[in-house]
Amino acid sequence: MGETMSATTAWKRQRTSRTACVDVDLSDFDTEQLLQALIDDGSITEGEASAIKARGGVRELDKPSVIGVQPDYVEDAWNEIIRGRKGEALHCIERALGNQWLGRLGTLTRIPYEPREAEFWSFCASLNGKSAAPKKGTFKAIIELYKASSKWAGFSPKTQDVYDYYLGLIEKAWGNQIADDLTQAAISAARDALAATAPVSANLLVRVLRAMCAWAIGDGHMTRNPARDVPQVETQVETTEPWPEAVWAAVVRHGPADLSRLAYLGRATGQRVGDLVKFWPAMRRGDGLDIKISKLRGKKHFLPLSPAHLKEIDGWNVGEMTPYLTKPDGKRHTEASIRYRLRTWLGESAPESIRGADVSPHGLRALACCDARLAGRTHQEIAALFGMSIQMVERYTRHIEQEL
């Protein structure tokens, strides 16, 4: 009896501010379950549980009962359970257990909003352990608004994928920070950290951040653009010089089938490598190809080809729905894989005369423009032929203008 009273006294002297988390199925609630759950939770000891049971006794009623004290509270708890209000049921059980239990099994939280207000549902979500809406003015909130905007909807799927990746980096770095508080120094530090291994990605991070902030200012979510004056880091720009004739001829004659076709198709069509890997015989129509230019948001474009070009391409005997450029195992190439394939072959397996040649797929686009310019076409005609801007044509052909 002395031990029981001692345990009870110790129990009463404990602070009651801590909330005990009870994981118990309230639809099948009895005293043993309650006390065992509290023991497992670390809220009470086995000795204290024994003292509580000895004090009040345990009895089973037709409906779940706790400690035979103040059964009206137990009845109320049962009714709350039927309504699905487990939180209220816990409070009724607290009262049934006695004053020292008040506030131990759960706490009432007043929701300071009306159900008609958006904040009401965010507050409820946070109480239920779900993520609440991000704080207004933070990068996380602005990114959500940006992705729901008409500006975002106007981007091509490929652009959305690129932006989504860099917005993820931005949210990871500054998600909970108020956007207007971000400094140029912080952006420069993040840029430099990324530039150590991926300078192109570092510049894209700044560009995407600058673009989103510009949109946010126009839409009233920000007052300043912290990325506006952040300079880009220097990168090795992909060459736009046309392939030397000897390199092109060697790749066509001695390269593996996918690289030989890349060289030929790139020079014949003047298209970006990201589009070349998507070309297949189903695009053939009349004296050319019906293509889509991804950089122009999938704009349809008919590309006429010479009889010699058509004869060569049709002679590859590729299935109608099979890409012209496939890997040795028959799987389709991606832009990244065909670039890697060209770079490694030139560096390791190409004939000695061209091994290590510093060329890229983009140089084939420049070579196509130079061919057309040397054939007497104007900049405007070349731009219309390949579906590019006049400025781009001028850039590609500047190397040969003195020859004309």
Between CA 268 and CA 308 the distance in angstroms is 10
Whether 234 is in a domain gets the answer: no
Domain shared by 81 and 159, yes or no? no
pLDDT for the residue 35: 62
pTM: 0.50
Q: Which domain range does residue 91 map to? A: 2-101
Whether 106 is in a domain gets the answer: no
Between CA 33 and CA 22 the distance in angstroms is 10
Q: Model confidence over 290-342: pLDDT tens digits?
A: 999 988 878 999 999 999 999 999 999 999 889 999 999 999 999 889 999 99
pLDDT for the residue 86: 60
Whether 134 is in a domain gets the answer: no
Q: Which long-range contacts (CB under 8 A, 24 or more apart) does 348-357 make?
A: 350/250, 350/251, 350/254, 350/255, 351/250, 351/254, 353/246, 353/250, 354/246, 354/247, 354/250, 354/251, 357/244, 357/247
Residue 359 CA, chain-centre distance (Å), reads: 32
pLDDT at 278 over 60: yes
Domain shared by 321 and 396, yes or no? yes
Choose one of 74, 101, 128: the last residue of a domain: 101
Whether 14 is in a domain gets the answer: yes
Whether 121 is in a domain gets the answer: no
Domain shared by 251 and 399, yes or no? yes
Whether 284 is in a domain gets the answer: yes
Q: 100 φ, ψ to 5°?
A: -65, -10
pLDDT for the residue 39: 67
Residue 402 vs residues 39, 328, 365, 392: alpha-carbon distances, Å: 90, 42, 20, 18
Whether 229 is in a domain gets the answer: no
pLDDT for the residue 23: 40
Whether 258 is in a domain gets the answer: yes
Q: How confident is the model at residue 166 (pLDDT cuts 50, 70, 90)?
A: very high
Domain shared by 259 and 348, yes or no? yes
Q: Which of 384, 382, 365, 204 is nearest to 299 (CA)?
A: 384
pLDDT for the residue 402: 63
- Mean pLDDT for all residues in the chain: 79
Cβ-contact 143, 212 below 8 angstroms: yes
Domain shared by 209 and 329, yes or no? no
Q: 322 φ, ψ to 5°?
A: -105, 130
Q: Three-class SS of residue 177? A: coil
CB atoms under 10 Å from CB of 23, counted, come to 7
Q: Which of 206, 250, 249, 251 is nearest to 229 (CA)?
A: 206
Domain shared by 168 and 263, yes or no? no
Domain shared by 17 and 85, yes or no? yes
State the total domains in the chain. Answer: 3
Tell me the DSSP string of 319-383: -TTS-SSB-TTSPBP-HHHHHHHHHHHHHHTS-TTTTT----THHHHHHHHHHHHHTT--HHHHH
pLDDT at 36 over 70: no
Domain shared by 153 and 263, yes or no? no
Task: Please report, for the domain that includes residue 384, its CATH number.
Answer: 1.10.443.10
Domain shared by 288 and 161, yes or no? no
pLDDT at 170 over 70: yes
Domain shared by 180 and 313, yes or no? no
Where is pLDDT greater, at 249 or 112? 249
Q: Model confidence over 59-82: pLDDT tens digits?
A: 333 344 444 444 566 666 666 655
Domain shared by 162 and 311, yes or no? no
Choose one of 200, 218, 236: the last residue of a domain: 218
Domain shared by 357 and 269, yes or no? yes
